[in-house]
Amino acid sequence: MNDPNATPDAVFVRRGAYYDSVTLMRVSGALADLPGTQVAIVAMATELNLDLARDLGFEVPEAGPGDLLVALRGADVDAAVAELDSRLRAQAVQGGQAAEQPPLTTRSAAARSAADLVLVSVPGEHAFGEALDAIEAGLPVMIFSDGVPVEQERLLKERADERGLLVMGPDCGTAVIGGVGLGFANVLRPGPVGVVAASGTGAQQVTCLLDLAGVGVSQVLGVGGRDLSAPIGGRSTLRALRMLDDDPATELIILISKPPAPGVADAVQKVIATLRTPVVTALLGQGGDLTAATETALHALDLPVPRWPRYPADTSAGPGGPGRSVGGGLVGVYSGGTLCAEAALVAGRGEFTDYGDDAYTRGRAHPMIDPTLRLEALRRVRPGDVVLMDVVLGHGADPDPAAGLAPVIASVPAPVVVALIGTEADPQGLREQRAALCRAGATVFASNAQAARHAASLLGHPGGHVQGEDR
């Protein structure tokens, strides 16, 4: 910095020093909590993170996504650097003590264990080899990693088909198998509904609404967002449908996806017609929404459809509370891609950003874990706008999302509408999260589609009528 009276900066790059994004998020948070620290960025040097540092006024050296970027500003940056080194050394020691003589490949690990599923969560450019190892070892695989080229996905699913195995993913964020949640997973009661989902947050929305209606799930099989595209041909979707059809615990299947490619849609419908188990399709953009599809499933099970609740904002909330004048635009600040797409379709207009998209998560933790980018977006909201956002609970997600979001929501100079996706059994505490968001001035819905309609209605957009009840 040129101002001699300005707070000191420390900016440097460590070449080839890779750490996972969750570790770096925790280190950044610890440094930010040090007395006198104003800004602490410890992240892989992706373009997104470099731009964030530049926007905050740091002079950033040349670096690439395989390098570690550190940008600190505060009264004692030397102490912050010392704390950084201490925490990274501790992480290295902890990782080195995790196991003696660990296996060096996925295939060798599979051979030394009784595992019946492999979960791959590495940078996308390295996921193919690990997933292929799993398939060659005769095991189904869930690929949590994103950024995997479509050609590699097709090859993996072709190999898996030859061996009668299921590939969930790439970019499969959610699964529940045998009652065990994988990735981002809510705590769900067991029940008769099986889910096949080319969408993690779409599956979470539907299963959380089912839970609210008192209905549980048998299995939730994610297949990756591109599975129903023309290059992939729905290979994992078709296998997952047949697997659930053979599952005696599954009485009804719900298929969740964005619209499939036309030829793939025909292939899926032909398979559905051969199944013994009834199938409800929830395909965004082809009429209806995820809430409507959940209601169709409940009708198919001869069960009543509850009134999906909404919870009003605290009338004494800050600048964005009820009664705030509007007249600007609708701003969607989302962590879930399918929830974002659904909200845009239902609301009909507005500016929507999915901060869980690959462009925002390379070198960073997913926004369901790390709220930094969404907090910055909320701080940029203008008076007169209406904010629409999701907050997703469950294992793998931020252990207390309201703690970080509520203070910023309270300062937003516009109404905030939240779709809160979770169950009463989730570790974050659904009621506590809801109460904190309402106290901050947000109106909270269990249904994302109804939240979108309500947000649109505040701006006088058509289609704004919302069913539901205040609690």
Give CA–CA dist 388/419, Å, rounded: 8
Question: For the chain, how many residues are written?
Answer: 471
Give CA–CA dist 426/187, Å, rounded: 5
Q: Which domains does the chain have, with CATH numbers?
A: 9-96 (3.30.70), 103-165 (3.40.50.720), 172-306 (3.40.50.261), 309-470 (3.40.50.261)
pLDDT at 70: 95
* 55 contact partners, CB below 8 Å, separation of at least 6: none
Written as one string, the DSSP assignment of 1-42 is: ---TTSPPEEEEEETT----HHHHHHHHHHHHTSTTEEEEEE
- Please work out, in degrees rounded to the nearest 5, the angle formed at the alpha carbon of residue 90 by the alpha carbons of 87 and 93: 155
CB atoms within 10 A of CB 178: 10
| Burial category of 46 from C-beta neighbours within 10 Å (exposed 0-12, middle 13-18, buried 19 and up) | buried
Q: pTM score > 0.75 for this model?
A: yes
Per-residue pLDDT of the chain (471 residues; tens, 9 = 90+): 445 456 689 999 999 888 877 788 889 888 988 998 999 999 989 888 898 899 889 999 999 888 999 999 998 989 999 999 999 888 766 655 444 556 778 888 888 888 899 999 988 888 999 999 999 999 999 999 988 999 999 999 999 999 999 999 999 999 999 999 999 999 999 999 999 999 999 999 999 999 999 999 999 999 999 999 999 999 999 999 999 999 999 999 999 998 899 999 999 999 999 999 999 999 988 878 999 999 999 999 999 999 999 999 987 755 655 555 566 899 999 999 999 999 999 998 899 999 999 888 877 889 999 999 999 999 999 999 999 999 999 999 999 999 999 999 999 999 999 999 999 999 999 999 999 999 999 999 999 999 999 999 999 876 544 444 555
Q: Quick one: tokens of 352?
A: 């929507």
Q: Tell me the HSE value of 246 on the side-chain side, using a 13 A CA sphere.
A: 6
pLDDT at 317: 59
Q: Which residue, 346, 356, 333, 353, is CA-closest to 201?
A: 356
pLDDT at 325: 53
Q: CB–CB of 377/406 below 8 Å?
A: no
Give CA–CA dist 391/24, Å, rounded: 22
